[in-house]
Amino acid sequence: MVEQRPARGTDEQYFTADPSVPFERETFETVVWGNRLRLTSGSGVYAKGRLDLGTGVLLEEEPPAAGRVLDLGCGYGVIGLAIAKASPETTVVGVDVNERAVRLATENSKALGLADRCIFTTGAVDGEFDEIWSNPPIRIGKEALHALLLQWLPRLKPGGRAVMVVGRNLGSDPLQRWLIEQGYPTERVGSSKGFRVLETRPSG
């Protein structure tokens, strides 16, 4: 997940597998789609102690009603867990390179009673997805971001979609154009607080 700038001096390390900062947990509460979520975040993981602004904008969109959902760059799991809580007919797979993030997301899924429908991992994932939801890690750089999206977008089922939030000043409009050029129809479906919400459909 990503917002306009790092916070509290640690978020710049969130996209590494094993951040060097000491690991300190911080728990907070947020309400998404009418559900109160108590979540534990931590140092070296994006958006410690808060729901970041971009993800908040993303979660203003309607959640999927059912299906298999990928939380891409899951962090401590807020997007995938909010979807699972709001939509009992969904199953969620969250992926992240950050081992701390995956550990926290797994702990949060158990605490919320959602572990039977939510799996978080740094490893390989099989199968296709009905939807992909993401506040993608823009700060890994354009080339790495493009490679990440081209790795996962082909896993969308026919008729599926990816829903992503990207800061306008971090390249949301160029990213939209690039996705279209790659054969993935992409529309802007939301805009708030300096962020764009993009909806991408499978190629072909």
Nearest to 129 by CA among 102, 166, 92: 92
pLDDT higher than threshold 50 for residue 36: yes
How much is the pLDDT for 122?
Answer: 96
Determine the residue type at 118: C
Do 121 and 94 touch, CB atoms closer than 8 A?
yes
Three-class DSSP category at 110: helix
In order of their start, the domains of the chain are: 52-200 (3.40.50.150)
Token pair for 4: 């306009």
Distance CA(147)–CA(202), nearest Å, equals 16
CA distance 86 to 107: 19
Instruction: Answer yes or no: pTM beyond 0.85.
Output: yes
Q: What is the pLDDT of residues 3-15, one digit of tens each?
A: 333 333 334 455 5
Q: What is the pLDDT of residues 59-107, one digit of tens each?
A: 999 999 999 999 999 999 999 999 999 999 999 999 999 999 999 999 9
Q: Does residue 179 surpass a pLDDT of 80?
A: yes
pLDDT by residue (tens digit) across 112-150? Answer: 999 999 999 999 999 999 999 999 999 899 999 999 999
